[in-house]
């Protein structure tokens, strides 16, 4: 037996899940798709006394178009997002990034909410929802809260979730169709966690100027690095080009404070942050349709 | 809250009901409780792909699921591929192209390839290599595995 002894319950619905969490609090772990939690259980890196399986709850598996944005239920499988025409059309950044999450065998089981609540600093989805300025809806017996993605991730494997709360949905705001996006990451092997990655979204006005931009990086610290303020300062009102995207990326690279580890030294991560943020921004700029004009590059 | 639960699941067309410890991994359940030792367990944390099986028609790492999570599921392991003493066309292709040496990774690869080919035809070499990225083989260097997948695409009537 790999995992240490625990007691297990299947929650039939959200109310039962949060009832059990209210009872057991931080002695309990929530099991969704299990693709991050089970390896840690196998290594006995986590030894919860209670495991609450939310994987059979109905009604948390959906992708809905709401006010031009997307609401995605926490138990939606990553593979379902990858195959969704709606996601490709409304949120191409998410469609592009999710292919980098593990392998198909893990995306078949892994859930969107599980990846976000696990909050691995090298995981793609936390950065994507940060760049998109998404909201995370969480629930406990005390009621619901809605948290901004940039406030949700608090450190390595640490979120703003309280011990009695579960994540029920991620709500991605409307980025008009024609918003450009780019996702770039560097990993040693396909499907591995990224050493560094960058996600960017950009909306351009009728004159081609940047109207709104969101950028977040992974692998540069203990949580996604929200480079939106830097990118906003540098690019809003500008016609984006190689020079100003690169200048923004250099400021981003200078601002991240990665640690060295066995995968890469800190200097190299800073270098990757600069290069990949620049590429993601330029890619977003090129893919963005200038409002009122035909899209030029066939994307 | 339980430390044991009864599970009923279908494996390769046969229904089984067993009482299992809630912390028993699905791969251990298949190998130790059902004696289906074709599913191989390598890394035990979802990286090597050896223990890949089909759960309700989709690939999954059987070391990343508890047996209790599979309650009610339909599972296919490598033992379920051959029918009536005849190898599955994917197995036939691996045999003919020498797509395995020691064979440890083969059962997981066969099921990964099964899902990959079941909804596409004539895959490019690049897409074959991407599909195989989650299964590690330490013997072959992948050349013959890639050839075997291309051959399986040609000979599997589907």
Give the tens place of pLDDT for each residue, A170-179: 999 999 877 9
Q: Judge: B3–A79 Cβ closer than 8 Å, yes or no.
A: no
Q: Where are the domains of chain A?
A: 7-53, 63-172, 180-287
Least CA distance to B59: which residue of chain A? A105
Q: Which CATH number fits domain A180-287: 3.30.950.10, 3.40.50.1580, 3.30.390.50, 2.40.30.110?
A: 3.30.390.50
Answer yes or no: is the ipTM higher than 0.90. yes
Give the pLDDT band (50/70/90) at residue A294. low
| Beta strands per DSSP E along chain A | 7-10, 28-31, 50-53, 63-66, 69-73, 135-140, 143-148, 153-155, 158-159, 166-172, 180-186, 196-204, 210-218, 225-226
E strand or H helix that includes residue A35: none
Which residues on chain A place their C-beta less than 8 Å from a C-beta of chain B? 1-10, 31, 34-35, 38-39, 41-43, 50-51, 53, 55, 79, 102-106, 108-109, 189-191
- With a pLDDT cut of 90, the percent of chain B lying above it is 98
> Which residues, 6 or more positions from B83, have their beta carbon under 8 angstroms from its beta carbon?
none
Give the pLDDT band (50/70/90) at residue A189. confident
Query: What gap in Å lies between CA A14 and CA A20, rounded to an integer?
Result: 10
Per-chain mean pLDDT for chain A: 95
Q: What's the mean pLDDT in B38-64?
A: 97
Judged against a pLDDT cut of 70, whether residue A299 lies above it is answered with no
Q: Judge: B60–A2 Cβ closer than 8 Å, yes or no.
A: no
Contact (CB, 8 A) for A246 and A278: yes
Per CB-CB distance under 8 Å, the chain A contacts of B60 are: 105, 108-109
Model confidence pLDDT, tens digit, residues A109-164: 999 999 999 999 999 999 999 999 999 999 999 999 999 999 999 999 999 999 99
Model confidence pLDDT, tens digit, residues A226-268: 999 999 999 999 999 999 999 999 999 999 999 999 999 999 9
Q: Which CATH number fits domain B4-80: 3.40.50.280, 3.10.20.30, 3.20.20.70, 3.40.50.150?
A: 3.10.20.30
CATH number given to B89-155? 1.10.150.120
Contact (CB, 8 A) for B18 and B7: yes
Conformation bin of residue B46: beta by default, left when phi > 0, alpha when psi is -120 to 50: left
Contact (CB, 8 A) for B24 and A1: yes
Per-chain mean pLDDT for chain B: 97
CA distance A12 to chain B (A): 13
Q: Where are the domains of chain B?
A: 4-80, 89-155
Domain A63-172 classified CATH 3.40.720.10?
no
Candidates A1, A34, A102; nearest CB to B69: A34
* Phi, psi torsion values for A134, nearest 5 degrees: -80, 165
Alpha helices (H) in B19-142, listed in sequence order: 26-28, 89-96, 106-118, 125-131
Candidates B5, B23, B52; nearest CB to A105: B52
Kindly report the number of other CB atoms within 10 A of residue A59's CB atom: 10
The answer to whether the predicted template modeling score (pTM) of the entire model surpasses 0.90 is yes
Fold classified for A7-53: 3.30.43
pLDDT on residue A177: 72
Query: What gap in Å lies between CA B134 and CA B63, rounded to an integer?
Result: 14
E strand or H helix that includes residue A98: helix A92-98
Q: Judge: B112–A105 Cβ closer than 8 Å, yes or no.
A: yes
Alpha helices (H) in B60-105, listed in sequence order: 89-96
Q: Is B73 on the interface with A (CB under 8 A)?
A: no
Instruction: Report strand pairing: B4-11 vs B74-76.
Output: parallel
Candidates B1, B25, B55; nearest CB to A8: B1
Q: Is B102 on the interface with A (CB under 8 A)?
A: no
Q: If we measure between CA atoms, which residue out of B48, B15, B47, B18 comes closest to residue B32?
A: B18
pLDDT on residue A293: 67
Query: What gap in Å lies between CA B149 and CA B153, rounded to an integer?
Result: 6
Query: What gap in Å lies between CA A100 and CA B129, rounded to an integer?
Result: 15
pLDDT on residue A11: 98
In DSSP terms, which residues pair with B17 in a beta bridge? B8
> Which residues, 6 or more positions from B82, have their beta carbon under 8 angstroms from its beta carbon?
B88, B91
CA distance A129 to chain B (A): 25
pLDDT on residue A192: 81
pLDDT on residue A114: 98
pLDDT on residue A178: 76
Dihedral angle at the C-alpha atoms of B84, B111, A112, A86, nearest 10 degrees? -80
């Amino acid at each position: 037996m790999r995992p240490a002894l625990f007691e297990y319950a299947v929650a039939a619905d959200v109310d039962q899940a949060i009832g059990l969490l209210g009872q057991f609090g931080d002695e309990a772990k929530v099991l969704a798709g299990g693709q991050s939690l089970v390896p840690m259980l196998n290594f006995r890196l986590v030894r919860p006394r209670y495991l609450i399986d939310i994987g059979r709850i109905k009604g948390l598996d959906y992708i809905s178009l709401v006010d031009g944005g997307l609401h995605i239920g926490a138990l939606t499988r990553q593979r379902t997002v990858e195959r969704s025409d709606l996601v490709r059309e409304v949120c191409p950044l998410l469609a592009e990034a999710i292919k980098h999450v593990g392998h198909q065998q893990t995306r078949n089981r892994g859930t969107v909410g599980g990846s976000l609540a696990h909050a691995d600093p090298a995981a793609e989805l936390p950065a994507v929802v940060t760049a998109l300025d998404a909201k995370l809806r969480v629930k406990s017996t005390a009621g619901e809260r809605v948290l901004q993605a940039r406030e949700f991730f608090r450190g390595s494997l640490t979120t703003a979730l309280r011990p009695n709360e579960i994540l029920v949905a991620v709500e991605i705001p409307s980025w008009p169709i024609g918003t450009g996006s780019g996702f770039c990451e560097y990993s040693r092997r396909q499907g591995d966690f990224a050493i560094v990655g960058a996600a960017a979204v950009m909306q351009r006005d009728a004159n081609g100027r940047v109207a709104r931009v969101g950028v977040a990086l992974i692998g540069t610290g203990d949580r996604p690095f929200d480079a939106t303020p830097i990118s906003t300062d540098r690019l809003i009102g500008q016609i984006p080009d190689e020079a100003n995207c690169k200048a923004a990326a250099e400021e981003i690279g200078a601002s991240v404070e990665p640690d060295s580890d066995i995968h890469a030294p800190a200097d190299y991560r800073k270098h990757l942050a600069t290069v990949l943020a620049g590429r993601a921004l330029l890619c977003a700029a090129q893919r963005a349709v200038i409002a009122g004009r035909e899209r030029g590059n066939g994307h | 809250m339980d430390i044991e639960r009864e599970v009923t699941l279908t494996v390769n067309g046969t229904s089984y009901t067993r009482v299992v410890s809630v912390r028993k991994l699905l791969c251990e359940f298949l190998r130790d409780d059902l004696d289906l030792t074709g599913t191989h367990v390598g890394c035990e944390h979802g990286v090597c792909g050896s223990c890949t099986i089909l759960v309700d028609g989709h690939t999954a790492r059987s070391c990343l699921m508890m047996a209790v999570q599979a309650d009610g599921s339909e599972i296919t392991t490598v033992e379920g591929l051959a029918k009536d003493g005849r190898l599955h066309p994917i197995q036939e292709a691996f045999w003919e192209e020498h797509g395995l040496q020691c064979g440890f990774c083969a059962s997981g690869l066969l099921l990964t390839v099964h899902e990959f080919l079941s909804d596409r035809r004539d895959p490019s070499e690049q897409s074959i290599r991407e599909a195989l990225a989650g299964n590690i083989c330490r013997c072959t260097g992948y050349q013959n595995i890639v050839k075997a997948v291309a051959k399986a695409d040609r000979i599997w009537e589907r």
